[in-house]
Amino acid sequence: MSRGLVELGLILLAEACPDVSLKALAEIPVGRRDALIFELREKIFGPRIVGLSTCPACHEQIELTINVADILQERDNNYRKTMTIDHQGYEVAFRLPSSSDLLIATAGGDLEAAYHCLIERCVLSAYFCKQRISASDLPVDVIDLMAGMMQQSDPTADVQMNITCSFCGHQWDQTFDIIWFFSKEIDSWAHRAMREVNDLARAYGWSEAEILSLSPLRRQHYLEIINSERANL
């Protein structure tokens, strides 16, 4: 995840949890953060998410529908903020990553450096044959075990969709990033609202404040009148 998306995630999280300090929000594990953003998105745009994906085999666009409840239902089953591994002489205590960790890890802009920085920040202690070692000395198989336990404990941190192309039958997994998707929905809504304000202001001479004070349903009725009159010109 890019630094910009991490910062945007904190902005959205602040909207979801207005009574919590930004510092405290930055320490929430990534999956818990995303679950709260999913809930905020559900309150604003509803329980279903509809998007598009391009098949990597035939390049056709596929429409996808996601139920927010399906994503959130497993989030509390195995939640543990800190975990331990005892594997082939390696004993590791580690915790889930937070937005604060991601901000620090991505500060340099180098992907590999960010990966190692994140591991070092999340490892609380590491031993091999009872001798203390650094996080950088951990082998790949131990790190893979850590990643698997993190995913099991905080599954909303990495939402994967299994997609089957309705045109060619190809199957693939695709990551769903709620921060990126939600921000695009907000941008689309904002541009649509601006067009509505423009059309209603031109037709009726109302101010922006007057137009936005109307309910969405009333605005829609007035827009339908305008479109009908245009069609009859």
Per-residue pLDDT of 154-191, as tens digits, reads 999 999 999 999 999 999 999 999 999 999 999 999 99
pLDDT (0 to 100) of residue 231? 82
Q: Is 54 contained in some domain?
A: yes
| Structural domain boundaries enclosing 213 | 181-227
Asked whether residue 138 falls in the same domain as residue 195, the answer is no
Q: Is 125 contained in some domain?
A: yes
Distance CA 14, CA 20 (A): 7
* 3-state secondary structure at position 224: helix
Q: Is 26 contained in some domain?
A: yes
- Beta strand segments in the chain, E: 48-54, 61-67, 82-87, 90-95, 123-128, 131-132, 159-164, 171-176
Asked whether residue 98 falls in the same domain as residue 210, the answer is no
Asked whether residue 108 falls in the same domain as residue 60, the answer is no
Which residues have C-beta within 8 Å of that of residue 44, sequence separation ≥ 6? none
**Number of domains composing the chain:** 3
Asked whether residue 102 falls in the same domain as residue 31, the answer is no
Asked whether residue 101 falls in the same domain as residue 211, the answer is no
Asked whether residue 2 falls in the same domain as residue 71, the answer is yes
Q: Is 167 contained in some domain?
A: yes
DSSP assignment of 146-157: HHHHHHHHSGGG
- The structure's pTM equals 0.86
Asked whether residue 36 falls in the same domain as residue 89, the answer is no
Instruction: Report the pLDDT averaged over residues 64-80.
Output: 82
Q: Is 138 contained in some domain?
A: yes
